[in-house]
Amino acid sequence: MLKGLRRIALGMVLCFFVLSLGLVYWQVVQNNVMLKNPANPRLALMERRIKRGGIFDRNGVVLAESKVESGKSVRVYPNGGVYEPLLGYATLQHGQAGLEDALSGWLLGMKNPTLSQELKQFFQVPRQGDDVVLTLDAKIQQAAYDGLQGKKGAAVAVDPRTGQILALASQPSFDPNSLDKNWKEISRPGSTDLLNNALSLFTPGSVMKLVTSKALFSGGIDTSKLFDDKGTTVINGQVIPDENTSGNGWINYNLALAYSSNVYFATQTVKAGQDNFLAAAKAYGFGQTIPFPLPVPDSQITNKAAVPTHLSINQLAASAFGQGQVLVTPLHMALITAAVADHGVMMRPYLVDRVLDSRQNVLYKAQPKPWLTPLSPADAGKITTAMVTTVNQGTAAAVALPNVQVAAKTGSAQPGGNVTTNAWFVAFAPADNPQIAVAVLVEHGGAGGVASAPIAKAMIKVALAENL
């Protein structure tokens, strides 16, 4: 009988042990998952007890704030859909998303809490979360949003000197003030209202030539030597056409970028070799996770491996001008452009400038840091010169501004299927002292110099208003 009792006691101990492990797992390891689950009553209690901090642009413009209406705390977004889906939402019914989710530790005063916040949390008394000041510029964001209205696409602006994200717009978007009311419509099957296009992968087309340029330099291609572009060429049985199929005549690297010659870049990249091309892609951050508060898929050269060890000649030729299986996000394309602008240094991108407690004491202040160095200053200078030529006598003439020299590159990417090309445009200005770099994508917009250039131009004009 004692033996039986021992077994029962041992079984009870084991059950208690397993139960304890489960509690530890859900309360500690999966604490954030449980907390963010809209079905968790603890979340409702916390949101009622903690006044979520505000979110502001770099100049103090309110982007999100909590107000008490009819005795209830309501999250208010004064700008409607201008910052969506980047800002996201925070509701008891549908949980959190976007920056409201990623920054909830600060906004609820739970990340590095002050002594006062810890005491209020312990005694479960009402308290104030922290305010978050973003790097976004409301005027540049508005210009991006207005330009994208009625289209599908994205526009990103970054300060190449620091990595500060000045604008990150995506269309379509939604009004977070009526999220609960319109949830069925917003989240309907096939809807992309909740999808952030700035953080999604697209075929880059000719804007990829900024990356390919490094491969040509590393491969010893004489970029001053003239090349006869007849409009099409055949590489290993594959026909490579220019948009101008009648040909661009005798061109060097500068004019090849300015006229966006696929023939030149495909031919010269094959000569430079796959190793130099793949090394260039890796140097620019392909296959690497971009450090950012929101998830960003890795840019890729092929579907099987983001940066493979081998490419066929046909893959190499197509990848050289951003076709084949090459995919990149608008955010990454803005960083690539910014690296050219910043003499070859790609700064770590960031959105949070500082965090303030309820008394406006600074709890956190961001410090600019380099992320990658894909180019030497000399090579960055070569690309800049070619991008200036692209504006002054090439495909990017639409972005030209009085009194300010802009450097830019267009792109028209074939996403596959019988559809209109995606329109890309990347630029930075002023060319000799860059303060802003932009990347604009309009899905199925056609030519980048037509559909996307005006949006980029508007963003640059707002950023450099004092210079114009």
Segment 54-88, tens digit of pLDDT: 999 999 999 999 998 887 888 999 999 999 999 99
- The answer, yes or no, to whether residue 310 has pLDDT greater than 50, is yes
> What is the pLDDT averaged over residues 93-98?
92
Instruction: Measure the CA–CA gap between 305 and 322, rounded to whole angstroms.
Output: 16
Phi, psi of 176, rounded to the nearest 5 degrees: -70, -15
pLDDT tens digits, 205-236: 999 999 999 999 999 999 999 999 999 999 99
Q: Measured between alpha carbons, how far is 455 from 466 in angstroms, rounded to an integer?
A: 19
Q: 404 — phi, psi (to 5°)?
A: -135, 125
- What angle, 0 to 180 degrees and rounded to 10, lies between the N-to-C axes of helices 377-393 and 209-218? 130
Residue 46: band (very low, low, confident or very high) from pLDDT cuts 50, 70, 90: low
10: pLDDT strictly greater than 90: no
Would you state the pLDDT for residue 245?
Answer: 81
DSSP 142-209: HHHHHHHTTS-EEEEEE-TTT-BEEEEEEES---GGGTTTTHHHHT-TT--TT--GGGS-B--GGGGH
Confidence of residue 92 (pLDDT cuts 50, 70, 90): confident
Torsion region of 150: left, alpha or beta (phi above 0 gives left; psi -120 to 50 gives alpha): left
- Lookup: tokens for 98: 């976007």
Amino acid (1-letter code) at residue 101: D
Strands (E), 265-351: 346-347
DSSP SS3 for 339: helix
Please tell me the total number of residues recorded for the chain in this structure. 468
The stretch 444-468 carries a mean pLDDT of 91
Residues 6 or more apart in contact with residue 291 via CB below 8 angstroms: 348, 349, 371
Contacts of 118 (CB under 8 A, 6+ apart): none
Strand 89-91 versus strand 95-97 pairing type = antiparallel
Tokens read off for 222: 């004489």
User: Does the predicted TM-score (pTM) go above 0.85?
Assistant: yes
Kindly tell me if the per-residue pLDDT of 325 is higher than 70.
Answer: yes
Closest alpha carbon to 98 in 110, 81, 86 = 86
Q: Is the pLDDT of residue 174 over 90?
A: yes
3-state secondary structure of 127: strand
Q: For residues 209 and 383, is the Cβ–Cβ distance under 8 A?
A: no
pLDDT category of residue 332 using cuts at 50, 70 and 90 = very high
pLDDT in the model for residue 122 = 46
- Give the span between the Cα atoms of 111 and 400, in whole angstroms: 46
Spatial neighbors of 400 by CB under 8 A, at least 6 apart, are 391, 392, 406
Q: List pLDDT tens digits, range 351-396.
A: 999 999 988 999 999 999 999 999 999 999 999 999 999 999 999 9
